[in-house]
Structure 1
Amino acid sequence: MHVVIVTIGSAGDLFPFLWMGTALHARGHQVDFLGPIQHEPYVTQAGLPFHGLPADPAVLDHPDLWHPTRGFAVVWQATRPAMAELPAFMDALPPGDARLLLAHPLALPEADLCRAAHPGLKIAAAYLAPSNLSTVHDPLMLGPWRVPHWVPHGARRWLWRTLAARLLDPIALPDVNVARGRRGRPPVGSLIEHITGIPDLSVTLFPEWFAPTQPDWPQPLFRTGFPLYDPAPDAALSLSLQTFLAAGPPPVAFTPGTGNRQAGRYFAAAAQALRELGLRGLFLTPHRDQLPATLPDDILWQDYVPLQALLPHVAALAHHGGIGTTAEALRAGAPQLVVPLAHDQFDNAARVVALGAGASLHAARVTPARMALALRQVVGNAAMRQHCRDASARFAAPTGLDALCTRLEAFSLA
């Protein structure tokens, strides 16, 4: 089997596809990996052929990147140049054995064009987070807004259609339909309906206990556990961090996401909240200019720390709610303060709260006082600690990766 993998975005988007790609490669399949050019070291280190796609790092400075409603437009426009290269890549491949395209959801419009030109092509979509799949069932988050459980399904469908028509379709459909027209394909009228109907198989990269299968999710559907891929599983904590951890009580670790360059207010509020509560802190960001110019001795800055090695040593993890960071905290049994900004983060935060494994504070509402209040709910909470241990115990179950590979093989060769 020849597997072509295509993804977009940050390392958090990349690693789940490397989790699948390395497993398929180990089973003897040919794997070609298409991703943003800056991720080449990760892919080549994993031993997979890499084909770099254009990526503009300036998108990280766009003021709307982390906006709850305008963020999608920024991500969409930033990924189109890369996705436009997928059909040409597929066209250049020689005729061969059974071919599978394993795609990020935002690559599905181009994947559909590839199948039109190559009718035997099978397409599998990998969904990294529950909110990537639309549903009218509970729990239903529309960005930062939770739909009450008493709202009937008919009204929920109307809400979805209305929001998609106003916030998604005007942004995405012009690009999608221009690309379709160039390949002689008819236009489509709804982005969500279009991409949901494209895959031959949909794969959810999160477990049933975190997000139960909904009746209106696409079928056929394959469920796995969290794809906790670590590019450096043996990485150790730095000497400075080991010294800091040994010098006092466990700190609260803060990360707004490695790609977030707009977190100055977040870190300033965190520093003041820690001072008010008398807690130690660890600030994780590769962008030092976001932090206060000077930090007290009880706050340490690190540009990168492997979470798997760090989290057993913290009192709590405050983070943005990215699905990979959320999963790492659940595996470690670390209490979480989720501070969501946009995209899937609000839904992930709601699920952490529902598990009893953390609290949530909307990033737009962050102040030192609110940060301190939220941390009081998390740090030293014995009941929450037990819920975190219960969640951590669930990771003893198989991830389902081998079963996924078997399923991909069977449906690709059918």
Structure 2
Amino acid sequence: MADTGAPDVDIARTPAPDAPAGHIVLVTIGSAGDLFPFLKMGLALREAGHKVSFLGPDQHGPYVREAGLPFHGLPADEAVLDHPDLWHPTRGFGVVWAATRPAMALVPAFMAALPPDAPCTMVCHPLALPEADLCRAARPGLRIAAVFLAPSNIPTVYDPLLLGPYRVPRWVPHGMRRWLWRTAVRYLIDPVAMPDVNAKRRAAGLAPAGSLMDHIFAIPDLSIGLFPEWFAPTQPDWPQPMLRTGFPLFDPNPHAELSSELRRFLGQGGRTLVFTPGTGNRQARAYFAHAVEASRLLGERAIFLTPHRDQLPAELPRHVLWQEYVPLRVLLPHVAVLVHHGGIGTTAEALHAGTPQLVVPLAHDQFDNGARVAALGVGRSLPATRLTQGRLLRCLEQLLDDEGLPARCRAVASNFERDVGMEEVVRRVGTCAHAVSPDASTRP
């Protein structure tokens, strides 16, 4: 995987100190955890003088418009949240892929309507890269930057490897790791994605692509990893050029405070546990049932964070409080343990706050994020397929009884003070639009 086939242009060494502001088109999918990093980038790019357009799921419109960025909504079928395989460790990718294709199909039409000669860069979620490549075929000067929100979005044979919930032992040789990864892609990813990708490529008069991973990693002129080196070091076989930053923490309501109801609940004394399966999870009824009993047996209070009240017991015991939404920034300083799904945004907020974590991963990047939390010594990981009341209780007891855990969490939180911010992202993305582009006919 070391040879990505990326365009032979070194964006890192392309100087453009006086280049005029360009048009930056941000394209994202997914939940709020996917949206907020793009919002942080969009605001920084606008502040630097660039024209910014934001394409994302319709439900994200209020967040983007409130931030003052032009928003172009893409259709999103929220019924996908009830699909039984959405959170399946291996079948979840197929559900996400199918759900995002109608929205991604509209991206080329948006790009075609822009002035053809103006410098322009697309900054894309990885699953938008096939459509970005179609846009570049029709607009040869277009530059493309890929944004990777979590380490597992970038496959490698060097980093400790997880194939879904299954860890590959460190002693397995790199050649075998490469074979395992390519086999997983061949049987679990390519049959889902490549018929659609190649149908669109044929319609655009382009040659078919072989494998999704090889295809999308050959597309970007610049890759951006929005997570720090101390969380996941850059690997030799990651695409280049690769820009690394810290976690792009973003609070849509930075002045929010705890409600009076929440302050009263927290003021009752003792320790508070917070449970959240993620804002997009509507299939967490068993998760919350186990949380009710585990917190009762521990004698601790619990806050349940979810916008979907119907998956909680109709009557909650006095030691449990339901909240539709609370900014983690204001809540986590009052929390003994955060139990969550392992989304990268939630993981980063807990690391920043120095809050111990119990990650209960279901699918996608969550297993890898949970493994990294455990490796940092600031929490544990318990796959959702193994979640029972007894296991949840034992994991929480181990975290609450670990006297050295708070100090380790504070030490990891101190890393945020040295993290790279958005300034270099703004410079490199702005430079990207003015770099000399290879002939589009030479691209894979």
TM-score, length of structure 1 as denominator length: 0.99
Matches within 5 A, 1:12-411: 12-411=33-432
Q: Which amino acid aligns with 2:270?
A: P
Determine if contact 2:121/2:432 at 8 Å carries over to the other structure.
no
Q: Which amino acid aligns with 2:249?
A: L
Secondary structure of 2:300's aligned partner: coil
Determine if contact 1:227/1:399 at 8 Å carries over to the other structure.
no
How much does 1:410 deviate?
A: 1.9
In structure 1, the residue matched to 2:8 is none
Determine if contact 1:282/1:299 at 8 Å carries over to the other structure.
yes
Distance across 1 between alignment mates of 2:58 and 2:320: 34
Determine if contact 1:53/1:85 at 8 Å carries over to the other structure.
yes
Distance across 2 between alignment mates of 1:202 and 1:109: 15
Q: Which amino acid aligns with 2:271?
A: P
How much does 1:237 deviate?
A: 1.1
Determine if contact 1:359/1:377 at 8 Å carries over to the other structure.
no
List 4+ stretches of structure 1 deviating above 4 A: none
Task: Indicate the structure whose relative CO is greater, using CA pairs within 8 Å and at least 6 residues apart.
Answer: 2
How much does 1:380 deviate?
A: 4.0
What do residues 194-226 of structure 1 show as CA deviations (whole Å, max 9, x unaligned)? 001100000000000000000000000000000
Secondary structure of 1:216's aligned partner: coil
Determine if contact 1:338/1:361 at 8 Å carries over to the other structure.
yes
Secondary structure of 2:404's aligned partner: helix
Distance across 2 between alignment mates of 1:308 and 1:124: 29
How much does 1:365 deviate?
A: 1.0
How much does 1:400 deviate?
A: 2.3
Distance across 2 between alignment mates of 1:236 and 1:8: 29
Distance across 2 between alignment mates of 1:277 and 1:199: 50
How much does 1:411 deviate?
A: 2.5
Distance across 2 between alignment mates of 1:125 and 1:379: 40
Distance across 1 between alignment mates of 2:135 and 2:159: 35
Distance across 1 between alignment mates of 2:207 and 2:145: 22
Secondary structure of 1:359's aligned partner: strand
What do residues 102-141 of structure 1 show as CA deviations (whole Å, max 9, x unaligned)? 0000000000011111111000000000000011112111
Determine if contact 1:35/1:51 at 8 Å carries over to the other structure.
yes
Distance across 2 between alignment mates of 1:3 and 1:54: 21
Q: Which amino acid aligns with 1:64?
A: D
How much does 1:276 deviate?
A: 1.3
Q: Which amino acid aligns with 1:401?
A: M
Distance across 2 between alignment mates of 1:33 and 1:96: 20
Determine if contact 2:228/2:419 at 8 Å carries over to the other structure.
no
Distance across 2 between alignment mates of 1:132 and 1:223: 14
**Percent identity over paired residues:** 65
TM-score, length of structure 2 as denominator length: 0.92
Secondary structure of 2:147's aligned partner: strand
Determine if contact 1:316/1:335 at 8 Å carries over to the other structure.
yes
The gaps in structure 1 that reach 5 residues or longer are none
What do residues 201-258 of structure 1 show as CA deviations (whole Å, max 9, x unaligned)? 0000000000000000000000000010111011111111010000121310000001
The gaps in structure 2 that reach 5 residues or longer are 1-21, 436-444
Distance across 2 between alignment mates of 1:305 and 1:250: 18
Distance across 1 between alignment mates of 2:404 and 2:433: 46
Secondary structure of 1:337's aligned partner: strand
Secondary structure of 1:292's aligned partner: coil
Q: Which amino acid aligns with 2:238?
A: W
Distance across 2 between alignment mates of 1:400 and 1:251: 32
